[in-house]
Structure 1
């Protein structure tokens, strides 16, 4: 067992023993909710961004955050919250998703999206769609109204028509700034990374008051993409993952590397496995009824239940460490970008290996913030446990 885990177990066990007599007296914890959003990560420059541009991005992020938080604060579903937040960003020309998506080499806008429900791990995804205003809604329709998880191109659009989606004309998605980026790329024989200083993929992750998690991601891909290239955003396990047992993750970055690492699933799997090991180790240190004669069988059972709860309380720092470790692995391979993460305990976490990431988070404990560059948010968005 890792040194950190052993020490966490010892500390938690000591705290539990000191409060054993009150195991049945604690009041039930109030339901909590948590939300994190992103609008892309990359090489962002403070000096190159005017105050007006910054204010515009912050307002757009705040609008998306408010849309998702409103759902959660009213007792709504995590799935509805992530869709509400992502739709706001898909409708904004500031982000590389929906309206404002980058152009392919052939001068079209091809959209990818995915969504996942942590309750049952149902998921839906689409890639290469050109006529759907909000691809995240089509991804969710694949999840709920088909036997499939992933549809692409003409097939995805045929499915959209069958399910009643309006056909959105191509000119809706096009913006002059994105067109100039493609022209500059072709004229100067640049790579997509030379013209895209940020990866404008958008995403949201949420925990609702029922304890359910959800994740959603939407993107236009990379400028000048060819040959039907698809990145990580619509791939379940790479750009999006949600599991009530561990976490919900949405990623943004250089998709080829996120695919190779399986970033979203990797983070959730490490959290689930490590937390299970910690709980097992802690419970092994707790007394039996005979060894702790001062406790009734009922009190002992409550004591053991509180042990699991206390492990969750001690888990926030480990969740951040795991996210950072996985992003470091992406960097070691040569990729960059970031992730947003929400845990069942309500932690709202960011991790990125770039100079900035458009991001925001809100929780039932009162956290409300949006940020762009590294180090701008508060030290923690961990809820009171």
Structure 2
């Protein structure tokens, strides 16, 4: 009897370890002209600390058995609430001196998705995208309609001035967009093997005429499929839209037997780079492997892999 009890304990322990080895999470805080010589030590430390806070939050949720959807939402909210990144609180100004936010989220188990664009008063756009996915028959809402939906869902509403920061306003005055790709994103896989990807952004500095980039567009800025991978993109959005960048990575895995790293490299460096676009993306495949690719001087990024190993990077390594 003791022999069989011992065997049962070993099997259960092995199963628990197997489940824990499924979970993984990766985030980005945007790609662009990110050079060490252009960032003060204090700002560098602040960025690293915030990335650490966000990735640690998501990892702890996954370890507790929470879904990848919850982990992605809560992780992105931390980045949206920081003025350090071009999303939520730190979003850039458009040509009219106003902040307009975009966001999207996709779930890999049922291919359900939600997205919003052009919202000016929703504190956490990623929560709006998630509510559209879970509580609407639609996938993509924009502008006033999206804001009205947010109010109906009792999401936190703020004045547009909440998003205003001196740093971003100076960028507008100087028409300077060094941090123009400061989108934030997260991809996670949970103990059940469910992959979720989310992306949130303020768009481009000085953007005009209701411009919408890739971030809220499913298949361009965000994509997730449990059979392949989850992707969140950051960069020159028009090029990511034209190449259907996020979905293309998934397609290379599904139809051409690429691994994640090879597929992401091909899309970023060959597909997007070839037509003049730049940026990056993060991803997790169905086996919990993580990859981060970019063709810019840097990309704020962090991950905790399936072995529990955490890494944080800002620059090209």
Q: 1: CA distance between counterparts of 2:35 and 2:70?
A: 34
Residue of 246, 266, 269 corresponding to 1:325: 266
1:369 corresponds to: 311
Q: Matches of residues 334-345 of structure 1 in structure 2 within 5 Å? A: 334-345=276-287
Match of residue 273 from structure 1: 255
Q: Distance in 1 between matches of 2:174 and 2:24?
A: 41
1:196 Cα shift?
2.6
> 1:359 offset after TM fit, Å?
0.2
Q: Confirm whether residue 59 of structure 1 aligns to residue 59 of structure 2.
A: no
Inter-partner Cα distance in structure 1 for 2:24 and 2:230: 11
CA contact (8 A) 2:180 2:205 kept: no
Q: 1:360: which partner in 2? A: 302
Is the 8 Å Cα contact of residues 196 and 222 (structure 1) preserved in structure 2? Answer: no
| Equivalent in the alignment of 2:114 | 124
Give the match for residue 260 of structure 1: 242
Say yes or no: does 1:161 pair with 2:151: yes
Cα distance in 2 for residues equivalent to 1:47 and 1:176: 22
Work out whether residues 84 and 90 of structure 2, in 8 Å CA contact, stay in contact via their aligned partners in 1. yes
Aligned position for 1:287: none
Q: 1:79: how far off?
A: 0.5
Deviant stretches of 4+, over 3 Å: none
Say whether residues 1:133 and 2:115 are aligned partners: no
In 1, Cα distance between the equivalents of 2:117 and 2:180?
A: 20
Secondary structure at 2:211's aligned position in 1?
coil
Q: Counterpart of 1:30? A: 18
Distance 1:204 1:221 in 2: 17
Q: CA deviation at 1:198?
A: 4.6
Q: Is the 8 A contact 2:86 2:202 kept in 1?
A: yes
Tell me by how many angstroms 1:49 deviates: 1.4
Larger radius of gyration: 1
Cα separation, 1, equivalents of 2:214 and 2:303? 23
Decide whether the 8 Å contact of 1:37 with 1:359 is kept in 2: yes
* Equivalent residue number for residue 20 of structure 1: none
3-state SS in 2 of match to 1:195? coil
With over 3 angstroms needed to count, the CA separation of the structure-2 counterparts of 1:212 and 1:86, relative to structure 1, is: same
Distance 1:229 1:158 in 2: 20
Tell me the distance in 2 between the aligned counterparts of 1:320 and 1:70: 26
Q: Residues 279-330 of structure 1, C-alpha deviation per residue, up to 9 Å, x if partnerless?
A: xxxxxxxxxxxxxxxxxxxxxxxxxxxxxxxxxxxx7xx2211100000110
Is residue 248 from structure 1 mapped to residue 230 from structure 2 by the alignment?
Answer: yes
Aligned residue number for residue 214 of structure 2: 232
Partner of 1:150: 140
Three-state SS of the structure 2 residue aligned to 1:159 is: helix
Separation in 2, partners of 1:198, 1:46? 17
Q: Is the 8 A contact 2:124 2:156 kept in 1?
A: no
8 Å Cα contact 2:180/2:204 also seen in 1: no
Name stretches of at least 5 consecutive residues in structure 1 with no aligned partner. 1-26, 186-193, 276-314, 376-385
Output the CA distance in 2 between the equivalents of 1:325 and 1:99.
Answer: 33
What TM-score does the superposition give when structure 2 sets the normalisation length? 0.92
8 Å CA contact 1:44–1:198 kept in 2: the answer is no
- Is the Cα contact below 8 Å between 1:196 and 1:223 reproduced in 2? no
Q: Tell me the distance in 2 between the aligned counterparts of 1:63 and 1:113.
A: 21
- Taking the aligned partners of 2:98 and 2:179, their CA distance within structure 1 comes to 20
